[in-house]
Amino acid sequence: MKFDVSDLKWLREPKNYIITENKIEMMTEPHTDLWQRTYYNFQNDNAPVLQMNTEEKYFSFIVKTEFESNHRFDQCGVVMYLDSENWFKGSVEYENEDFQHLGSVVTNNGYSDWATTVIDASINSMWYRFSRRADDYCIESSIDAFIIVRCAYSTCGKGIV
């Protein structure tokens, strides 16, 4: 998959961002999130998403994220966003000064589920490798060596992602 910043498109463009050939920086607004229905009984579909569409059935995309989290639920990560009812993300979510969550959320047909593990609150960068193998997807994370966060099937992930 060829990466070209001119192919990037915003879904909910943030007020503050910078895009160069080697770096993307953004500042999100408070109270933005992606979550649908399950367990918490609310729906949030208002987080900024920078997308690049592809029809390639087999690829891996690697990105390093760096973040400054100060408030509960601050998040930074990677997402495959098809629509408000179907998406897959991996992110670090700040909880408090002691710990944060490294997790993944799969949303199929309007219902999210969350798999998570606790990591130290001092971590302020994370590598992600997002891979597609036909209709199957995998998000791996790394501070210094990749570990699998989640492999999942997307009910609507057969076409352009």
> pLDDT tens across 119-155, in order?
999 999 999 999 999 989 999 999 987 776 777 888 8
Task: Establish if 158 belongs to a structural domain.
Answer: no
pLDDT, tens digit (0-9, with 9 covering 90-100), for 6-15: 999 999 999 9
Looking at the 3D structure of the chain, how many domains does it have? 1
| Distance of alpha carbon 70 from alpha carbon 89, whole angstroms | 21
* Lookup: tokens for 44: 């949030």
pTM given for the model = 0.86
Q: Mean pLDDT across the stretch 98-108?
A: 97
The CATH number given to whatever domain includes residue 21 is 2.60.120.200
| Confidence (pLDDT) at 37 | 94
| Distance of alpha carbon 1 from alpha carbon 4, whole angstroms | 10
* Lookup: tokens for 126: 């994370």
Task: Establish if 32 belongs to a structural domain.
Answer: yes
* Residue 157: pLDDT band with limits 50, 70, 90: confident
| Distance of alpha carbon 68 from alpha carbon 66, whole angstroms | 7
| Confidence (pLDDT) at 148 | 67
Beta strands in the chain (DSSP E): 9-11, 16-19, 24-27, 34-36, 43-45, 49-51, 58-66, 75-83, 86-94, 99-108, 111-120, 125-133, 136-142, 147-153
Task: Establish if 161 belongs to a structural domain.
Answer: no
Task: Establish if 160 belongs to a structural domain.
Answer: no
Domain span at residue 94 reads 5-153
- Per the prediction, the chain carries an average pLDDT of 92
Element holding 20 (H helix, E strand): none
Task: Establish if 83 belongs to a structural domain.
Answer: yes
